[in-house]
């Protein structure tokens, strides 16, 4: 079993126990941490989050963030789809057949993208926990371009 499969197993266990159990786990922020950690490690189980060398290989950067790629203090890691939406999607399958494939599909709706701190502030003002109504992702709606050198980056790349 790999790191991501272990996280999915935890999520399946939590969701299969029902909404009251989920509420208890989520009230102390443990559930949030589990979900966030899914995107913070690569396929080899190495922590990518806030590790500049690995971030450059596994996360996509905006063009502005790429200009600061060697200054962690200038960068902010952001989920492309807000975690609140991912949590709502996962909650919606409670009481239904919960499978690894369903959980994986929901978790793969998002990824961590690296922005500048200024871009992050602007994004939070408009789309902190919602998606744009125009059908575009949050970055495109804000006209934040992805650095071409990072467009194929993923935590699932070796």
Q: Mean pLDDT over all residues of the chain?
A: 96
Q: In whole angstroms, give the CA distance from residue 60 to residue 155.
A: 10
DSSP state of 129: S
Structure tokens at 132: 């744009």
Structure tokens at 148: 């071409």
In 10 A of CB 71, how many CB atoms?
A: 11
The pLDDT of residue 28 is 85
- Does pLDDT of 67 surpass 90? yes
- Does pLDDT of 142 surpass 90? yes
The pLDDT of residue 135 is 82
The pLDDT of residue 9 is 97
Q: If you search the block for the tokens 């408009």, which residue do you land on?
A: 126
User: DSSP of 135-157, one letter per residue?
Assistant: SS-HHHHTTPPBPGGGTT--TT-
User: DSSP of 41-56, one letter per residue?
Assistant: B-TTS-B-TT-HHHHH
pLDDT band at 80 (very low <50, low <70, confident <90, very high): very high
């Amino acid at each position: 079993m790999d790191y991501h499969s272990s996280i999915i197993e935890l999520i399946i266990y939590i969701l299969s126990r029902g909404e009251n159990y989920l509420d208890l786990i989520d009230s102390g922020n443990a559930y949030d941490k589990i979900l966030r950690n899914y995107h913070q490690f690569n396929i080899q189980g190495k922590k990518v989050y806030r590790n500049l060398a690995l971030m450059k290989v596994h996360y996509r950067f905006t063009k502005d963030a790429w200009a600061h790629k060697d200054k962690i203090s200038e960068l902010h890691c952001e989920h492309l789809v807000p975690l609140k939406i991912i949590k709502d999607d996962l909650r919606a399958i409670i009481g239904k057949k919960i499978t690894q494939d369903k959980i994986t599909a929901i978790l793969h709706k998002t990824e961590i993208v690296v922005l500048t701190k200024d871009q992050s502030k602007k994004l939070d003002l408009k789309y902190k926990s919602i998606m744009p109504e125009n059908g575009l992702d949050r970055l495109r709606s804000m006209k934040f371009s992805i650095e071409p050198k990072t467009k194929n980056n993923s935590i699932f790349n070796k």
